Amino acid sequence: MTGSEPARQLPQLAVACPTCHAATGDLCTSHGGTRPRRNDTHQTRTAAWREADLAQRDETHPTPGRYQVTYERVGRRRDIPPLIVEAAGADHLAKLVHTDARRYLGSRDVEVRVDLEEMRGSILCGMRSGGQFTVERLDGGR
């Protein structure tokens, strides 16, 4: 039946239609409510889907922020200057810290973990601690 109803493949069906009140997964109906719209959806449903999609992306892709990373220790060194960077979330910040801290470490097996709720992070070299650091958000965001 999808060959005669191409609208069934549209991602907009993931939200209910504000115009015709079609439920999630159901096709929109004509303005008279008598026929299903087989080729498209109402513009309001498309707009609602875009808004829902953007809200979901905001949760999974945080807005960039300016951070200062203050190292307590990297390897055996304690005199590492702070790192100030723009990062979009914990994973991005971990990659930037990895790049910065890697030059102070002899190990090639380096992993960086960042916890933005605790505003702390750690550097692992294999199974050993390669260092710790604190994180401060400089632009006042969360």
Alpha-carbon distance values, 9 to 14, 30, 41, 82, 91 (Å): 10, 18, 11, 50, 33
0.75 cut: is pTM over it? no
Whether 122 contacts 90, CB under 8 Å: no
Share of the chain above pLDDT 90, in %: 36
| Residue carrying the six token digits 């892709």 | 61
Predicted local distance difference test score (pLDDT) of residue 141:
63
Query: For position 14, what pLDDT does the model report?
Result: 87
- Three-class SS of residue 36? strand
When mean pLDDT is compared across 13-17, 61-65, 83-87, 90-94, the lowest value belongs to 61-65
CB-based burial label for 39 (10 Å; 0-12, 13-18, 19+): exposed
pLDDT of residue 9: 85
Q: Is the pLDDT of residue 58 over 60?
A: no
